[in-house]
Amino acid sequence: MRLACTARPALAGAGLLILVTGCAATDVPAAPEPGDTTGTLPTAHVHAVAVDPGDGAVLLATHEGLITVGDDGRPAAVGPVIDLMGFTVAGPDHYLASGHPGMRTDLPNPVGLIESTDGGATWTPLSRAGESDFHALTDLPGGGALGYDGTLRRTTDGTTWEPLAIPAAPHTLAAAPDGHVLATTGAGLLRSTDTGATWAPVDGAPLLQVVTWSGDGATAVGITPDGAVWTSDDAAVSWTQRGQLDGTPQAVGATTADGDLRVLVVTDHGLLESTDGGATFTTLLRS
């Protein structure tokens, strides 16, 4: 058991940013009890939720490292203990991340940009070791990445970075395969059509806490601080409310299979899943 503490910006009300902090004694997440199909969400804060496009595994990037959730609902820790403040899936078993190393983890602090090509079992520093803790991070088409460590930075090769301007500090960054990038901020939703070089506000968009794209980039999914689920099918120009969650969102992920949109959301109540485009949700892991 370890003491886990978090500090992360979060949206609160219209146009406001607050700092969410917390400490929790963290154990390995629990498997389901006999006859119970729902396991337990890690007590450590979840910074990101995603799906590996290779095997469909659900991934939780937490303050205590990477957690996978199997089809049987059993969560399992993978790899070293790293506070994965930023996390993004670049391909099958290929992940990029940032944050801080845990105890007895031989990585610089902060870790900068790190990479795993074996499903999170091991991680290799790529760049900005000891310099950057990217609280917002997304992979870009062609193998690059966009991250925010107090400055918005973009890399095309994982090693060389260029600083970019953004009108407001991003809470989350999400890039589509065609290069469209969304940023949730206290000033509202921002959209870039050139992989982060320039930004414009999305007029009429809801104030989203977290945002993501489906794996094929056809749909954007966002959640407001009060749990309203919104989607867009026109590159984030217009938005439609789909459902309502009872809880504050921590992270959102989405994928498509056979044309059906699957949405995963982590709230203070657990890990929730929708298979009808965000209209209704069931619990995969309870808090």
The DSSP code sequence of 200-252 is EE-TT----SEEEE-TTSS-EEEE-TT-EEEEESSTTSS-EEEEE-SS-EEEE
**pLDDT tens for the chain, residues 1 to 287:** 333 333 334 444 433 333 333 333 334 444 444 444 468 998 889 999 999 999 999 999 999 999 999 888 889 999 999 999 999 999 999 999 999 999 889 999 999 999 999 999 999 999 999 999 999 999 999 999 999 999 999 999 999 999 999 999 999 999 999 999 999 999 999 999 999 999 999 999 999 999 999 989 999 999 999 999 999 999 999 999 999 999 999 999 999 988 899 999 999 999 999 999 999 999 999 98
Dist CA 116 CA 50 (whole Å): 15
Confidence (pLDDT) at 103: 86
What's the CA angle centered on 90, arms 111 and 92, to 5 degrees?
A: 115
Phi/psi zone of residue 260: left (φ > 0), alpha (ψ -120 to 50 degrees), beta? Answer: beta
Confidence (pLDDT) at 59: 98
CA dihedral 128, 129, 130, 135 (to 10 degrees): 70
Provide the token pair at 240: 């439609």
Residues 6+ apart with CB under 8 A from 18: 9, 10, 11, 12
Strand pairing category for 282-286 and 39-40: parallel
Q: Helix, strand, coil shares of the chain as percentages rounded to 5?
A: 0, 50, 50
pTM of the model: 0.87
Tell me the three state secondary structure of residue 173. strand
Dist CA 34 CA 18 (whole Å): 40
Confidence (pLDDT) at 4: 36
Q: DSSP secondary-structure letter at 63?
A: T
Confidence (pLDDT) at 38: 61
**Partners of 282 in beta bridges:** 273
Provide the token pair at 208: 């989203």
Cβ atoms 57, 89 nearer than 8 A:
no
Cα 162 vs. chain centroid, distance in angstroms? 23
Cβ atoms 236, 229 nearer than 8 A:
no
Q: Which domains, and CATH codes, for the chain? A: 2-26+38-286 (2.130.10.10)
